[in-house]
Amino acid sequence: MTSFADFGLAPEILRAIEEQGYTQPTPIQDQAIPVVLAGRDVMGGAQTGTGKTAAFALPILQRLLPHANTSASPARHQVRALILAPTRELAAQVAESVAEYGKYTPLRSTVVFGGVAMEPQTDALRRGVEILVATPGRLLDHHQQKQLNLSQVELLVLDEADRMLDMGFIPDVKRILSLLPPKRQNLLFSATFPDEIRKLCASLLSSPVTVQVAPKHATADMVTHKVYPVSRERKRELLIHIIRERDIRQALVFCATRLGANRLAYQLNRDGVHATAIHGDKSQLERLEALDQFKSGKVGVLVATDVAARGLDIEDLPYVVNFELPNTPEDYVHRIGRTGRAGKSGEAVSLVSPDEHEKLADIEKTIRKQIAREILPGFGPGAARTSSLMPERKAERREREEPSLTGSAGRRAERGSRSERRANAEPTRKAAAPVDDIFFKPYEPSQASVTREEPVEAERRKPERQVAALLGGLRKQG
């Protein structure tokens, strides 16, 4: 069995690894570390939770050691490695890992991402760093303001490339590539490899070594998947029932929209379940606070949207709940990547309403697995179309596929909720227009030291009124 020492890593790096409590490399580390140390390009198929950060960060630190020095002169601390990550949370976590693993070396690192003031970042860049972790937009902002010299970059990492694509960052990434010296080592990590990512690999990577820890679309082996058929209106009740029944202390609950996540967190709190929401509408500080509260156990339920949860490093999470199924099967894979980590068992629970059965079928096709259904007494059979989700009733499915809401108000409500979902949805590959001005705005240089504004209250309230009307409509139906 390989140990970290077998890779020939420097004692100061090994010391930091030991302090982290890592006793042996994970499979992705086993595969990637020697390849990166050998200077080869890497195409890495790995999702968060596999130890992929250390898989690139450790050999990068090792390769940069010849540049390590204790000089105070910024000129002696040029950016040698650039790590691009799609979200602020992921960038912050990667930077934290790099700093931990490199703490006994004089190599310097920092992170830049949007949504916070530029000045402290500019100061750190001015002082000089060897390793820079960045989200694409903010990196371009700094470059535009001539705060950044990328002419000495030797190593580039594109982390979670598929998410970069989902979030519309590929043009920014390409712009960044054009700013880098052509001769460099490139590492690309992605959980999935849609065609566009394959194209990017072909243009970016030169004779890459492929390292992969889970076959495409395979979900973590240690995760038990379960579907609870339920009507849309009773999902919250069912969620609370499951949380109480099983005495769940920590669960990450996914909603399809930011509005939905906010509303669910609010309602859970009202019903006595401590919950907080994390999504693109929240400021960086609010998101980090929510994450901290969750990690420290202050709140038991973190309600998240796909974009916000991407890359979150939450260890040993026993439960991931899909309050709503994601728009793409790939997102299901990403979501459940939060549980069943490092050999621990985890449970992925999906509350599936009849209108989601096509999404469920797509997910099952993608993960090549039929997910077990369980109807909880009092929650399933009452809902007209719930049983159409039971596999043994497939033949009857067509007959059951009438709208669950009857009457014109019901249809209006369905239409309304769908368009609300569309309007607020975090982007998917198919999303035509950016919806989150923090994440999805095409690149525009921002003003120095300006914190990006959160959407004004009026904008937030508008859809809530629609939903209130919607719920009223539903209640009248009942």
Task: State the nearest-atom distance from the C-beta of 410 to ligand AMP, in Å.
Answer: 44
- Run of H or E residues at 277: strand 275-278
Nearer to ligand AMP, 54 or 107 (CB): 54
Among 9, 36, 54, 438, binds ligand AMP (CB under 6 A): 54
| Residue among 95, 62, 83 at smallest CA distance from 150 | 83
Q: Which stretch binds ligand AMP (CB under 6 A): 49-57, 73-81, 147-155, 277-285?
A: 49-57
Q: Does 337 bind ligand AMP (CB under 6 A)?
A: no
Task: State the nearest-atom distance from the C-beta of 317 to ligand AMP, in Å.
Answer: 11
Identify the DSSP state of 317: B
- Distance, CA of 356 to CA of 267 (rounded, Å): 22
Q: How far is CA 3 from the centre of its chain?
A: 29
Nearer to ligand AMP, 33 or 107 (CB): 33
Task: State the nearest-atom distance from the C-beta of 72 to ligand AMP, in Å.
Answer: 31
* Beta carbons of 388 and 397 less than 8 angstroms apart: yes
Name residues contacting ligand AMP, limited to 165-224 (CB under 6 A): none
Among 7, 26, 98, 112, binds ligand AMP (CB under 6 A): 26
Q: Which stretch binds ligand AMP (CB under 6 A): 44-52, 63-71, 119-127, 278-286?
A: 44-52
Name residues contacting ligand AMP, limited to 306-335 (CB under 6 A): 313, 315
Q: Does 49 bind ligand AMP (CB under 6 A)?
A: yes
Contacts of 452 (CB under 8 A, 6+ apart): 114, 115, 437, 438, 446
- Max distance between CA atoms of the chain, in angstroms, equals 75
Name residues contacting ligand AMP, limited to 229-258 (CB under 6 A): none
Task: State the nearest-atom distance from the C-beta of 342 to ligand AMP, in Å.
Answer: 6
| Residue among 133, 106, 101 at smallest CA distance from 22 | 101
Task: State the nearest-atom distance from the C-beta of 464 to ligand AMP, in Å.
Answer: 34
| Residue among 147, 127, 122 at smallest CA distance from 72 | 127
- Distance, CA of 76 to CA of 69 (rounded, Å): 7
Task: State the residue for tokens 């890459």.
Answer: 208
Q: Does 44 bind ligand AMP (CB under 6 A)?
A: no
Q: Does 339 bind ligand AMP (CB under 6 A)?
A: no
* Beta carbons of 440 and 168 less than 8 angstroms apart: yes
Q: What does residue 251 show for φ and ψ, rounded to 5 degrees?
A: -145, 140
Task: State the nearest-atom distance from the C-beta of 245 to ligand AMP, in Å.
Answer: 29
Residues that bind ligand AMP in the complex, under the rule CB under 6 A: 22, 25-26, 29, 48-54, 313, 315, 342
